[in-house]
Amino acid sequence: MSISRRKFLGWVGAAGLSATIGKSATASTHKHFTGYPGSFAVLHDTTLCVGCRSCETACNKVNDLPSPDKPFADLSVLEKKRRTTTKAFTVVNKYNDPERPKKPVFFKKQCNHCLEPACASVCFVRAFTKTKTGAVIYDSSVCVGCRYCMVACPFEIPTYEYDQVLTPRIRKCTMCYPRVSKGQLPGCVEVCPMEALTFGKRQDLINFAKQRIQKYPDRYVDHIYGEHEMGGTSWLYISGVPFKELGMREDLGVTPAPELTAGALSSVPMIVGLWPVLLTGLYAVSKRKEKIAQTEQENAVALALDKADASPQSIISEATESQTGEES
């Protein structure tokens, strides 16, 4: 429901835009929904990140997560590629720049808060909501624990409390929705000493990122990751190395996740509408065939019986006729 309304709004917006600027606003991406107007985003400039893990510390604190196995000051954990877990909604990974082997590149990973989230579209109990602030939040009070969101997420972000017996939850970054609602910055953004993270309106951040790329073309690859990936995300990244070197998929495409299953789902009403008609028709045909066969059989039997009844009489009458003939 909400998605179709969103799309509708998107189309209205696109139509309005094309009317004013005279060309299709979405021709390059076929994308209609570009986020709630004025929604927020975070821009991660990986060229500024030094891998200090302050963001991880802050995230742990604001989300009341259990303390990690190794302290946050221990940077040796960066040597191993990590993913988000139930204890860590964000992780910083270290990658080597193939062109500058001595200078590692750091990349912060957390929920990307898709504009049209796969997790929200596949949740059969609507536990996920894309809020007007841009955050994708999760409501554990309805979650059944089917973990389809984890299957669906192209960024492999949601994690699950497999060790909880009665209250297992999906755990993931909330883009600090409670803090942002109160006018505060997300924990990680607030604490970053290098200003590698910028919080702001998504459209402003895209413009800002474009300006930076134009201003320092030698420093950045010409790609804002998250501007279009999976229909766009509320976390955006700029980098000096291709994103696939940073463990980010570059083959995700620009189709928003809900569209991947929309076609299959749209066939459902057709099956419900047409199948009963077709099947009842087949039933009627087979029933009629049966009836015709039965009638034919009955007729054949009746005919045979008639014949059988008639024959002795005719023999007698023929015999009497021939007799009378002979006599005369």
Partner 1 sequence: MTEETIAENKSFFNLFNICAGIVVVIGLYITYLRFTGGLAAVTNLSDNNPWGIWISFDLLCGVALAAGGYVTSAAVYLFGMKKYHSAVRPAVLTGFLGYSLVVLALQYDVGRPWRLPYPLVVQQGTTSVLFEVGLCVAIYLTVLFVEFSPAALEWLGLKKARNLAVKLTILLTIFGVVLSTMHQSSLGSLFLIAPSKLHPLWYSPYIPIYFFVTSIIAGLSMVIFESTLSHRFFAYKMDETHLKEANGITLGFGKAAAYVLAGYFAIKVMGISAGNNWHYLKTGYGTWYLVELIGFVALPALLYAIGVREKNLILIKWTSVLAILGIILNRFNVCLVAFNWQLPSSERYFPHWMEIGISVFIVMIGLILYRFIATRMPILYAHPDYKDAH
C-beta closer to partner 1: residue 100 or 126:
126
CB of 160 to partner 1, least distance (A): 6
CB of 153 to partner 1, least distance (A): 9
Q: Is 136 helix (H, G, I), strand (E, B) or coil?
A: strand
Please provide residue 30's backbone torsions phi and psi, each rounded to the nearest 5 degrees.
55, 30
Distances from the Cα of 68 to the Cα of 53, 74, 77, 263, angstroms: 12, 11, 11, 43
C-beta closer to partner 1: residue 58 or 149:
149
How far apart are alpha carbons 6 and 12 in whole angstroms?
10
C-beta closer to partner 1: residue 31 or 54:
31
CB of 129 to partner 1, least distance (A): 11
DSSP 92-133: EEEEE-SSSTTSEEEEEE----BSS-HHHHH-TT--EEE-TT
How far apart are alpha carbons 22 and 52 in whole angstroms?
48
CB of 117 to partner 1, least distance (A): 11
C-beta closer to partner 1: residue 154 or 187:
154
CB of 125 to partner 1, least distance (A): 5
C-beta closer to partner 1: residue 70 or 289:
289
Q: Which residue has the tokens 């991947």?
A: 260
Distances from the Cα of 12 to the Cα of 146, 201, 234, angstroms: 36, 21, 22
CB of 10 to partner 1, least distance (A): 16
C-beta closer to partner 1: residue 285 or 310:
285
Provide the binding-site residues for partner 1, judged by CB under 8 A: 1, 3, 83-86, 118, 120-127, 142-148, 150-152, 154, 156, 158-168, 249, 251-253, 257-258, 260-261, 263-265, 267-268, 271-272, 275-276, 279-280, 282-283, 285-287, 289-290
Closest CA to 186 of 82, 44, 36, 70: 44
Distances from the Cα of 262 to the Cα of 97, 155, 207, 259, 266, angstroms: 39, 20, 31, 5, 6
C-beta closer to partner 1: residue 73 or 272:
272
CB of 255 to partner 1, least distance (A): 9
